[in-house]
Structures are given as C-alpha cells and as structure tokens.
Amino acid sequence: MVISTRIFAYAAGLLAFAWTVGAAAQTHVHGKAGAQTAKVELGTSAAFASDGALYAVSKDGQHVLLHRSLDEGVSWESPVVVNAVPEAISAEGELRPKLAFAPDGGVLVSWTHPLAKPYTGEIRLARADDGRHFSTPVTVHRDRQEITHRFETLAVTGKGQVLVAWIDKRDLETAQAAKRSYRGAAIYAALSDDGGRTFRPEFKLADHSCECCRIGIADDVDGLPLVLWRHVFEPNERDHALVKLGPDGAPGKVQRATFDHWRIDACPHHGPSLAVSSSGARHAVWFNEKDGEGRVFYGRLEDGKVEGQRTVGGERAAHADIAASGRRIAIVWKEFDGVRTHLRAEVSDDDGATFHAVALASTEGASDQPRVIRRGDDLLAFWRTDKEGMKGYWLK
C-alpha cells in the first residue's frame, strides 16, 4: 500500500476539522457542561422544477422532508413529509436523499435506508404526482439480503427513463462464501419506464467498485446516461471507471476514465462528478493522489486519456461538483482554512478552455457538500450549512 505523507496530512486536517465541529456541538444540558447534542446530518440535495421553483430534500429524524422555495432559496415554504411511516435514513457525506423530476412533472425522492447490520442498507424511492402527496416508498432492488445496497444516485435520463444506481456487495458476499477473493464491491442499477412508479429488475454495471464513494451520472449528447464511479483496478488502484448505457438500458464496456494510479487499501469517501457540455466534451472532477499529491482534480475524459487535467483549489479543497449548461461549465467545492470553511467556484464560458475563480460564501460551523444545479441556461451553487441553512448562489 502506497500512501503519501501529503495524504496523511490531508486526512489529519479533515479529522481536525471534524473534531472541531464535534466539539462545537457540545453544550450545557440541565446545567451540566460537556453533554453532546445529537449529530447534525446536513446531507441535502436540490433541483429546479420546470416552473422555476427550487426544491430540496433533507432528513429530519426518521423522515425525509421535501422543501420548496419560490425565491431561489432566500426563503422556504413549510416542508412536506415524504415517508409517512418513519424509518432510518442516511443523510451525511456521500450518503444523502436525492431528488429528481419525472418527465410528467412527478417529484421523485430516493434515499438509503440503513439496516440493523453495520454498513448494510436498502435503496428506497417515493413519488408524488402533485409534488406534495407521496406514494408509499418502494425498495428499488429485488435483492433483499441484509447486505450493502448504499450510496444511491438518482437521475432522469434524456430518454425519459428513471435511473437509480448504487453500490452493492452481493457479489462480494457470494465470493466470500465460496472463499474466493473479490476486490471492492459492485455497481448495480435499476431502470423505470413509467416515471418511477415501477422498476425493472436490477442489473450489474461492473464488478470491483470502491465501497463508499458517490456515483456520478450525466446524459451524453444523445440522451443516453453515462455512469462514473471510483473503481478498484488490479491490483489495487483506486482510479475511476465509466460506462454508457445503451438505448435498451444494457451497460456497455467498462472504460478506465482516470489514470492517477492511486494505491490505497481504503475508500476515501470522495466520489466523482460528471457533466457533458453541448460539444460532447465530458468534464469531470474527482479526488485522487497523483505524483504523491492528494488533491481535487478537473479534466476532460476522453477515450483512454484525460485531457487538461489540473488541480482545483488548495490543498484542503474537498467534495467538488460540476455541471454544464451548453458550453458553460461550473465547478464548486468547499475548502477549510483552519477556522472557516469556504464555498468556492470556477466558471468557464468556453467549454473548459479557461476558467475564472469565484468566492461565494463561508461558515464557521458544520457544512454539507456543495452542489451545482441548473435552471435553463443558468447555474446555481447550492450549499447547506449548520448556521446559515440552505442557500443558493448564482454563478456568473
């Protein structure tokens, strides 16, 4: 296993930040100092509806909540409960409820429901035809073993199908039972042809994915989905892989997408993000170690190579996201300076040839991972913090 001292320093910085946030959560309860409040789970997703309203989904206890804003996140209406029957919900880091809109306008919300055994779960989804009254949640996959089905990503493809992809360990369990070696986990997915009301049987995209990183999905220029994830290449290189689904939903050949050759026997909990511009260029951001340096990277993914790969932000840049509108590309990330966490962005108006930097916001407390979301030709950075709440920042 090869891990640079820079990676250790980076991890130490994140652990120090996590300790600081945890310490800040301590308060006085019934006159006694040192009692700790419940952990704040800030994992939230957001998207614009066709009418321009901004929606977001978050967790409150054992319920997923749907929020709606008519002023681009300045204020929010009273939330709607998605799951009437309470259940455990994951909502932090790479795990968060997801949100999408079906072609007929129905609101789709997915989440990971953790089970009793550690690191196990089920992928759940509920639909509201009118945006307020949700159907009884369904489990997307037919496999019901108490194993890992986690880290789901939800998307509606350019062809109008609802796609849910997740990390799955059924093949690892089978291999272990047969006393065979197996690298990592696997990527599985399920498709719906009726707006998320029902799903076809799940299918495997690839063996040997990393275990705990989010999955990126973006439409190619022909409307067919591309799926990007952290993969475990032989013997143990944690680079990224890409698959395109065909018109029938069948996955194509697995292609290696990044070539940093990071060897680490662990999952960095730092998944990639993918966007396709109108020119067909595949823009991506990801975290990896390259040449002894652990950083966030940007590059354009081409067959068998990465074009224009470079670092994004400083040494503590983390959890970048990317989106495209025409030839306009936006990258957002957060970066801790030892005291405050900053929301920063880079924007390109020429299909990634050049970028200009934008400082957007900062906070002294805990914060979620930022996202870039699209409304028409415009791009918005969405960020939830413990102190400031859910906010949007237009990217100019």
pLDDT attached to residue 38: 55
| Range in 18-27, 80-89, 234-243, 257-266 the model is least confident about | 18-27
| Angle value at C-alpha 99, between 252 and 126, nearest 5 degrees | 95
* pLDDT band per the 50, 70, 90 thresholds, residue 23: very low
pLDDT tens readout for residues 294-307: 899 999 999 889 99
- Evaluate if residue 1 carries a pLDDT over 80: no
Helix ranges restricted to H, 186-305: none
| Range in 38-47, 167-176, 323-332 the model is least confident about | 38-47
Q: Is residue 27 part of a domain?
A: no
Domain that holds residue 217: 5-22+54-394
* pLDDT band per the 50, 70, 90 thresholds, residue 234: very high
- Evaluate if residue 126 carries a pLDDT over 50: yes
Q: What is the mean pLDDT of residues 198-204?
A: 98
Residue 177 burial by CB count (10 A; 0-12/13-18/19+): exposed, middle or buried?
Answer: exposed
SS3 label, residue 17 = helix
Q: What is the mean pLDDT of residues 374-381?
A: 96
- Evaluate if residue 35 carries a pLDDT over 60: no
* pLDDT band per the 50, 70, 90 thresholds, residue 65: very high
Q: For residues 143 and 361, what is the distance between their CA atoms, to the nearest angstrom?
A: 43
pLDDT attached to residue 8: 34
Helix ranges restricted to H, the chain: 5-24, 170-177
pLDDT attached to residue 266: 80
- Evaluate if residue 40 carries a pLDDT over 90: no
- Evaluate if residue 108 carries a pLDDT over 90: yes
pLDDT attached to residue 172: 98
| Range in 33-37, 132-136, 184-188, 355-359 the model is least confident about | 33-37
* pLDDT band per the 50, 70, 90 thresholds, residue 146: very high
- Evaluate if residue 362 carries a pLDDT over 60: yes
Q: For residues 254 and 287, what is the distance between their CA atoms, to the nearest angstrom?
A: 20
In the chain, how many domains are there? 1
Q: What is the mean pLDDT of residues 176-199?
A: 97
- Average pLDDT score, the chain: 90
- If one counts every other C-beta atom within 10 angstroms of the C-beta of residue 179, the result is 6
Q: Is residue 36 part of a domain?
A: no
Q: Is residue 224 part of a domain?
A: yes
CA–centroid distance for 93 within its chain:
8
- Evaluate if residue 251 carries a pLDDT over 70: yes
Q: Is residue 91 part of a domain?
A: yes
Residue 68 burial by CB count (10 A; 0-12/13-18/19+): exposed, middle or buried?
Answer: middle
Nearest to 301 by CA among 324, 285, 278: 285
Q: CATH number of the domain that 295 lies in?
A: 2.120.10.10
Q: Is residue 248 part of a domain?
A: yes
Nearest to 43 by CA among 109, 98, 100, 81: 98
- Evaluate if residue 93 carries a pLDDT over 70: yes
Q: Is residue 35 part of a domain?
A: no
* pLDDT band per the 50, 70, 90 thresholds, residue 318: very high
Strand partners, 81: 65
- Evaluate if residue 260 carries a pLDDT over 80: yes
Residue 182 burial by CB count (10 A; 0-12/13-18/19+): exposed, middle or buried?
Answer: middle
Q: Is residue 64 part of a domain?
A: yes
Q: Is residue 286 part of a domain?
A: yes
Nearest to 154 by CA among 126, 130, 177, 173: 126
